[in-house]
């Protein structure tokens, strides 16, 4: 750590600490102080001086104590030097100032930075390149303490170890509100860890997706019983009844990013009475619908510690018009008789994240039986092609950095994997894996995907995942090349395994073109041939 800190200052701008320290006490019109900041790389040096000057004068909560102001004044040279080493010092300084404005107190943080000045390098990088991490720090500056742990840059522990850790944390809760706050603070600590690993490119993008999905799994498993207990205070419980939480989309595939919604479905099974036994009893359908909504609120509510996740329920049977919670028998009936092809495509990523082992096995068996039904190959490929074209009309983009919706991007890779898995139901082996990468590998092993196409899709998936992961972490409205900071462009090159930004752009274009050719060959062209020949004519079907 000390070696890293010393390396930080090897190429330091030749300004003495005394010169930099005087910046904080200089008048805002002090041209010498402005020149010092300009030399450091702060292009808008008058504005930069105004900000630094404000640290000693403005009524920030973090600076209300003299001890905090003294500590910060001592840190100014190191802070300015660290910020000057970011790609855009002015932007980083503004974010750092916003961070200071939001701090409830400063003595603890400034003392930590005094004792571990090398942390300012990371803090400056976050302020310059990762606004979402800056928001997490704004909620809890104590997250920086975790960086001192020798395991900070290691992968997260197993889900069982994480679950046990969260359960220990929740034992401190005095009431339900404490449960919500403690869950958020615990989750944010680990989100911050994974986010820094993504920013520093010390974790493979696939591992980052698994880590973030593991966090969501653990939160759902730990929080659901707490919500059930709170709900039971008024409405009681239904004996011999149980609820299950089913994840789809990126959570189902264990590919979660920092901004991903949780695609969830709530299922329940009743083995006895169909009414709850509480002070205000409810019939089963109403009971589980309200319980599910209460759980969604527990995930989405904004508390003093922030929000856990956004939840998307549109993949439930009948979409927005369907019940918020459904019986397992009703779920089976819907998917056996009414579901559209795209709903079965989505079901290839379904994974039970909270339920008893017995109920989990029952749901897994049900899903596999639904997906294993042999399908009309003509209808299957034309349905898939039509759904992809519909999404392209609605969300399509020519921007190569919008890797989800661009032609030849992530959606095309996912559609190919889902299509081939449903197609495999009529043959041997049948391949079903929620994770897109695992699905493609097993489709290749099973002979449903040739080696050349598999290589194109897997390499494209890896690149797209790396780009998406970093862009979602480091931007709030997507990557815009003309205005993106140099530091982010350099990070994208590193994440994409390229020598520079120009190289990663070329790799991205080539990967998207290659994936789109695969999509055309495997799906679009066969679908067009069938449609041209009239093989798919006839009454429209939901299947």
DSSP 200-266: TT-S-HHHHHHHHHHHHHHHHHHHHHHHHHHHHHHH---TTEEEEEEEEHHHHTT---TT--EEEEE
Contact 278, 232 (CB under 8 A): yes
Burial 133-143 (b: 16+ CB within 10 A, else e): bbbbbbbbbeb
- The CB density around residue 538, as the number of other CB atoms within 10 Å, is 8
The most distant pair of C-alpha atoms in the chain lies apart, rounded to whole Å, by 83
Helices (H), 30-142: 31-40, 45-57, 66-84, 89-102, 107-115, 119-129, 131-139
pLDDT of residue 18: 61
Determine the pLDDT at residue 30: 73
Residues facing 263 on adjacent strands: 248, 312
Question: In terms of pTM, does the model score above 0.85?
Answer: yes
Position 10 scores a pLDDT of 41
∠ CA 178-143-259 to the nearest 5 degrees? 80
Q: What share of the chain is helix, strand, coil (3-state, %, to 5)?
A: 65, 5, 30
CA distance 319 to 338: 12
CA distance 502 to 507: 9
Average pLDDT per 10 consecutive residues for the chain, totaling 543 residues: 39 51 62 86 90 80 88 90 87 92 89 91 90 86 89 94 98 97 96 94 94 98 98 96 98 96 97 92 97 98 93 92 94 96 97 98 96 94 97 95 97 98 85 96 95 98 97 88 85 94 98 98 95 57 34
> Half-sphere exposure of residue 513, counting CA atoms within 13 Å on the CB side?
6
Cα–Cα nearest to 257, from 300, 193, 213: 213
Q: Is 19 exposed, middle or buried (0-12, 13-18, 19+ CB in 10 A)?
A: middle
Distance, in Å, from the CA atom of 89 to the CA atom of 60, rounded to the nearest integer, reads 22
Give the integer Cα–Cα distance in Å for 266 and 256.
19
- Backbone φ and ψ of 406, nearest 5°: -65, 150
Domains of the chain, earliest start first:
2-129 (1.20.120), 159-370 (3.30.460.10), 377-533 (1.20.120.330)
Three-class secondary structure of residue 389 per DSSP: helix
User: Rounded to the nearest 5°, which phi and psi values hold at 312?
Assistant: -115, 120
Q: How much is the pLDDT for 64?
A: 86
Asked if residues 96 and 131 have their Cβ atoms less than 8 Å apart, the reply is no
Eight-state DSSP code of residue 290: H
The answer to whether the bond into 494 is cis (omega within 30° of 0) is no
């Amino acid at each position: 750590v000390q070696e890293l800190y010393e390396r930080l200052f090897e190429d330091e701008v030749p300004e003495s600490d005394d010169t930099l320290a005087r910046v904080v006490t200089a008048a805002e019109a002090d041209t010498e102080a402005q020149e010092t900041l300009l030399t450091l790389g702060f292009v808008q040096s008058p504005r930069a001086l105004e900000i630094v000057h404000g640290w000693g004068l403005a009524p920030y909560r973090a600076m209300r104590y003299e001890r905090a102001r003294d500590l910060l004044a001592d840190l100014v040279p190191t802070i300015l030097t660290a910020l000057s080493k970011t790609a855009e010092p002015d932007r980083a300084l503004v974010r750092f100032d916003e961070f200071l404005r939001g701090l409830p107190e400063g003595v603890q943080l400034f003392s930590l930075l005094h004792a571990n000045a090398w942390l300012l390098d990371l803090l400056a990088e976050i302020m310059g390149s990762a606004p979402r991490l800056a928001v997490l720090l704004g909620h809890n500056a104590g997250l920086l303490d975790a960086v001192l742990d020798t395991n900070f840059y290691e992968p997260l522990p197993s889900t069982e170890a994480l679950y046990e850790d969260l359960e220990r944390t929740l034992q401190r809760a005095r009431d339900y509100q404490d449960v919500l706050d403690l869950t958020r603070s615990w989750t944010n600590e680990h989100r911050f860890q994974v986010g820094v690993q993504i920013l520093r490119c010390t974790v493979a993008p696939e591992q980052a997706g698994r880590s973030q999905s593991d966090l969501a799994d653990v939160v759902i498993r730990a929080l659901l019983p707490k919500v059930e207990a709170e709900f039971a205070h008024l409405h009681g419980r239904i004996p011999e009844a149980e609820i299950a939480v089913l994840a789809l989309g990126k959570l189902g595939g264990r590919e979660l990013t920092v901004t991903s919604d949780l695609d969830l479905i709530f299922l329940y099974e009743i083995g006895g009475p169909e009414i709850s036994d509480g002070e205000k009893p409810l019939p089963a359908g109403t009971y589980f619908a309200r319980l599910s909504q209460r759980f969604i609120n527990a995930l989405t509510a904004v508390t003093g510690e922030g929000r856990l996740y956004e939840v998307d329920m549109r993949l439930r049977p009948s979409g927005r018009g369907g019940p918020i919670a459904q019986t397992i028998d009703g779920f089976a009936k819907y998917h056996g008789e009414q579901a559209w092809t795209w709903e079965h495509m989505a079901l290839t990523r379904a994974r039970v994240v909270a339920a008893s082992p017995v109920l989990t096995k029952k749901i897994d068996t049900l899903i596999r039986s639904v997906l294993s039904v042999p399908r009309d190959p003509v209808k299957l490929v034309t349905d898939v092609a039509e759904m992809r074209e519909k999404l392209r009309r609605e969300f399509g983009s020519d921007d190569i950095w919008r890797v989800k919706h661009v032609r030849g991007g992530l959606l095309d890779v996912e559609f190919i994997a889902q299509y081939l898995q449903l197609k495999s139901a009529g043959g041997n082996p049948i391949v079903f894996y929620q994770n897109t990468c695992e699905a493609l590998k097993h489709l290749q092993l099973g002979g449903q995907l040739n080696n050349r196409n598999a290589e194109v899709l897997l390499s494209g998936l890896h690149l797209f995942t790396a780009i998406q992961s970093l862009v979602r972490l480091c931007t709030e409205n997507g990557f815009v090349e003309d205005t993106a900071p140099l530091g982010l462009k350099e990070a994208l090159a590193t994440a994409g395994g390229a020598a520079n930004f120009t190289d990663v752009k070329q790799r991205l274009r080539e990967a998207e073109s290659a994936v789109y050719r695969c999509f055309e060959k495997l799906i679009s062209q066969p679908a067009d041939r069938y449609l041209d020949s009239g093989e798919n004519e006839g009454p429209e079907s939901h299947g």
